[in-house]
């Protein structure tokens, strides 16, 4: 389905007026794909969709949630996590506290990936872990740390690559069973994080494009993986500046495997593997 630009803008304006969410700086192509999916699922025309979000508050809220939901997985892009483990986290071993923020945390698998790493490196107790998302439905899933086994079983391969293997020393092998961190019940289709992990993070609703800090602290590490691809270049650059202000000196910003920083803002960071270090 091909959507007219003026109709997309009318929809964005309607959402902003009735729900307070501003999608003006989202990537037009990405946003249009999500609206296409909503139209197919709801069997509505674009005009009917605009009318319905004006009249039906529950439908409006659900539509916003459908627009903002992002996918995630345990140890997504294992080579990134290997770099975090062996090149990024060791720099914090001497610190008393490590502040970590996961932006756009979705259903929480990224958060729990980091918690597993922290525990393996004996850093979990000194870590303060915060996670935010605009979508309250995914935050509730994240807080429980319970997922469908059928959709997550394949990611145990990622666990083995990151936790058991050391790409910088092939002689090293850590025989850590996933059962240390994850409870699996195939009969119940359950893939659940253990309380050691679920009790640690603080999950909060937050719209990153407001460029606010709801935790009143700066951070050593900020994850913003596979979020910026949904924004236009103007908003991306604003957020790179914003993240720079939220990081401690030498703090790390970790992006998705296919995301990068371009333009003048790069002068404020230095790249190290998958991370951008604040100068």
Domain count, the chain: 2
pLDDT of residue 129: 99
- Write out the residue range of the structural domain in which residue 39 sits: 5-68
Mean of all residue pLDDT scores within the chain: 93
* DSSP H stretches of helix in the chain: 5-19, 28-42, 46-55, 57-68, 78-83, 109-120, 136-144, 149-152, 156-159, 195-198, 233-246
Residue 240 vs residue 173, higher pLDDT: 240
Q: Say how many residues make up the chain.
A: 279
**Tokens representing residue 73 in the block:** 């997985």
Distance, CA of 257 to CA of 139 (rounded, Å) = 23
- Put simply, whether the predicted model's pTM sits higher than 0.85 gets the answer yes
pLDDT bin (cut points 50, 70, 90) of residue 2 is low
Task: Indicate whether 41 and 94 sit together in one domain.
Answer: no
Please check whether residue 161 lies inside any domain of the structure. no
Buried b (16+ CB within 10 A) or exposed e, 15-33: beeeeebebebbbeeebbe
Task: Indicate whether 208 and 125 sit together in one domain.
Answer: yes
Task: Indicate whether 268 and 207 sit together in one domain.
Answer: yes
Residue 247 vs residue 272, higher pLDDT: 247
pLDDT digits (tens, 9 = 90+) for 109-129: 999 999 999 999 999 999 999
Task: Indicate whether 105 and 212 sit together in one domain.
Answer: yes
Please check whether residue 14 lies inside any domain of the structure. yes
Say if CB 126 and CB 135 are below 8 A apart: no
Task: Indicate whether 131 and 213 sit together in one domain.
Answer: yes
Residues contacting residue 267 through CB under 8 Å, at least 6 positions apart: 279
Residue 37 vs residue 170, higher pLDDT: 37
Average pLDDT over residues 18-39: 86
For 237, list phi and psi in degrees, rounded to 5. -65, -35
For 198, list phi and psi in degrees, rounded to 5. -70, -25
Buried b (16+ CB within 10 A) or exposed e, 82-110: bbbbeebbeebeeeeebbbbbbbbbbbbb
Please check whether residue 192 lies inside any domain of the structure. no
267 CB-contact burial (10 Å; exposed 0-12 / middle 13-18 / buried 19+)? exposed
**Is the pLDDT score of 1 beyond 60?**
no
pLDDT of residue 173: 84
Task: Indicate whether 17 and 50 sit together in one domain.
Answer: yes
pLDDT digits (tens, 9 = 90+) for 146-202: 999 999 999 999 999 999 998 888 778 889 999 999 999 999 999 999 999 999 999
Please check whether residue 186 lies inside any domain of the structure. no
Residue 64 vs residue 158, higher pLDDT: 158
Task: Indicate whether 112 and 58 sit together in one domain.
Answer: no
CATH value at residue 98: 3.40.50.150
Q: Which residue among 68, 97, 123 closes a domain?
A: 68
């Amino acid at each position: 389905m091909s959507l007219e630009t003026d109709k997309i803008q009318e929809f964005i304006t309607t959402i902003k007026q009735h729900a307070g969410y501003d999608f003006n700086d989202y990537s037009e192509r990405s946003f249009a794909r999500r609206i296409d999916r909503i139209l197919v699922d709801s069997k509505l025309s674009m005009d009917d969709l605009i009318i319905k979000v004006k009249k039906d508050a529950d439908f409006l809220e659900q539509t916003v949630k459908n627009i903002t939901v992002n996918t995630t997985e345990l140890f997504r892009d294992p080579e990134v996590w290997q770099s975090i483990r062996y090149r990024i986290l060791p720099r914090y071993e001497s610190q008393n506290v490590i502040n970590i923020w996961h932006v756009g945390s979705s259903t929480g698998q990224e958060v729990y990936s980091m918690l597993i790493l922290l525990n393996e490196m004996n850093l979990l107790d000194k870590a303060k872990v915060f996670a935010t998302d605009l979508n309250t439905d995914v935050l509730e899933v994240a807080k429980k740390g319970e997922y469908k086994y059928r959709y997550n079983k394949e990611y145990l391969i990622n666990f083995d690559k990151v936790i058991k293997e050391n790409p910088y020393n092939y002689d090293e092998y850590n025989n850590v069973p996933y059962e240390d961190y994850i409870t699996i019940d195939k009969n119940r289709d359950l893939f659940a994080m253990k309380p050691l992990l679920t009790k640690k993070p603080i999950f909060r609703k937050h719209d990153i494009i407001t460029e606010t800090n709801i935790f009143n602290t700066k951070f050593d590490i900020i994850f913003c993986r596979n979020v910026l691809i949904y924004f236009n270049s103007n908003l991306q650059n604003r957020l790179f500046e914003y993240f720079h202000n939220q990081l401690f000196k030498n703090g790390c910003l970790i992006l998705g495997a296919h995301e990068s920083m371009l333009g003048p803002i790069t002068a404020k960071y230095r790249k190290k593997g998958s991370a951008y270090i604040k100068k």
